[in-house]
């Protein structure tokens, strides 16, 4: 039983077919079929039910899959550890954050990393639409800072650490409210206003299903800065991190909206995120430790 056989097994499960796995691994279907047969011989039982149109795992195959995934995670961590032990501190540490988060959360930690690891280049990237989490999942970033909901664990095999909170404000411009007769008092009056709505998140979150407000006039954005500018311009009402519009709220340019049972401000946690299957480098581990 080899790591390569387990990787082929996992690719077939994730792809749902030999054809899909062959394309993904750039191998022939016959080569993958032979590898799976050898794996089943070593295991002593069938992993797939071949009587169905699509390959389906047998009950024993499902149990085997869970352990195979853990073995491959441990193998990846071992490879990462070997690389870290060989080279010491990382040459580059990739840090991403979601623009909805307050960047000041990271500033003191970045300063300490500069002093502690002067030879490590810090590459900091900012993202919208929860692309920070996607970059962690895809291995394009080492550590990320992003809003976090428990359901995100369904999309990602990651470790997380709560480090801050984010207040989501429901706002509209003073000019927009004056144009439509003042502050909306109920759901019907709110739906008369145009709505500024984020595009669907990178990991599949649909804001329509969350808000459940069928406003007929809406503008969708893929950038939080653009949303702020549109709110100030009076193009609609929307949900935005409070710290990004604090000055406009203080001056009265933007107004808070709150309708019982319909919309109100929410607080959500901000988490530090890293991939579970990759062993963190020395600098990445120090960054994580700074928040404990």
Q: Three-state SS across the chain?
A: CCHHHHHHHHHHHHHCCHHHHHHHHCCCHHHHHHHHHHHHHHHCCCCEECCCCCCEECHHHHHHHHHHHHHHHHHHHHHHHHHHHHHCCCCEEEEEEECCCCHHHCHHHHHHHHHHCCCCEEEEEEECCCHHHHHHHCCCCCEEEEECCHHHHHCCCEEEEEEEEEEEEEEEEHHHHHHCCCCCCCHHHHHCCCEEEECCCCCCCCHHHHHCCCCCCEEEECCHHHHHHHHHCCCCEEEEEHHHHHHHHHHCCEEECCECCCECCEEEEEEEEEECCCCCCHHHHHHHHHCC
- Look at residue 105 in the predicted model and tell me its pLDDT: 94
CATH 1.10.10.10 placement within the chain? 3-86
Considering the domain 3-86, what is its CATH architecture?
A: Orthogonal Bundle (1.10)
- Look at residue 154 in the predicted model and tell me its pLDDT: 78
CATH 3.40.190.10 placement within the chain? 89-162+269-290, 166-268
- Look at residue 174 in the predicted model and tell me its pLDDT: 97
- Look at residue 213 in the predicted model and tell me its pLDDT: 63
- Look at residue 161 in the predicted model and tell me its pLDDT: 97
- Look at residue 151 in the predicted model and tell me its pLDDT: 80
What's the CATH fold of domain 89-162+269-290?
Answer: D-Maltodextrin-Binding Protein; domain 2 (3.40.190)
Mean pLDDT (10-residue bins), the chain, 292 residues: 90 86 88 90 88 82 90 83 71 94 95 90 91 91 93 84 94 95 90 84 56 70 90 94 96 93 86 90 93 92
- Look at residue 203 in the predicted model and tell me its pLDDT: 55
CATH number belonging to domain 166-268:
3.40.190.10
- Look at residue 210 in the predicted model and tell me its pLDDT: 53
pTM greater than 0.75: no
């Amino acid at each position: 039983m080899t790591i390569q056989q387990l990787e082929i097994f996992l690719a077939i499960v994730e792809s749902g077919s030999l054809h899909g796995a062959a394309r993904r691994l750039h191998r022939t279907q016959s080569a993958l079929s032979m590898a799976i047969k050898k794996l089943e011989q070593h295991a002593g039982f069938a992993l797939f039910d071949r009587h169905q149109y699509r390959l389906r795992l047998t009950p024993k195959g499902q149990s085997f899959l869970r352990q195979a995934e853990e073995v491959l995670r441990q193998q990846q961590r071992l490879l990462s550890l070997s690389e870290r032990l060989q080279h010491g501190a990382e040459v580059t540490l990739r840090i991403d954050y979601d623009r909805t988060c307050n960047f000041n959360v990271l500033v003191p930690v970045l300063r300490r990393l500069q002093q502690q690891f002067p030879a490590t280049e810090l590459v900091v990237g900012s993202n919208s639409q929860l692309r920070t989490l996607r970059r962690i999942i895809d291995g394009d970033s080492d550590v990320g800072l992003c809003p976090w909901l428990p359901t995100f664990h369904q999309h990602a095999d990651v470790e997380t650490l709560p480090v801050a909170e984010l207040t989501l404000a429901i706002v509209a411009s003073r000019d927009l409210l004056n144009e439509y007769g003042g502050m909306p008092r109920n759901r019907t009056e709110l739906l008369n206003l145009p709505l500024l709505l984020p595009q669907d998140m990178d990991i599949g979150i649909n804001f329509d299903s969350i808000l459940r407000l069928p406003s007929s006039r809406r503008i969708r954005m893929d950038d939080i800065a653009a949303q702020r500018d549109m709110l100030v311009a009076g193009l609609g009402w929307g949900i935005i991190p409070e710290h990004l519009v604090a000055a406009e709220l203080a001056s009265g340019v933007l107004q808070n909206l709150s309708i019982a049972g319909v919309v109100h401000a929410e607080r959500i946690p901000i988490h530090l995120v890293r991939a579970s299957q990759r062993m963190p480098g020395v600098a990445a581990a120090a960054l994580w430790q700074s928040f404990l």
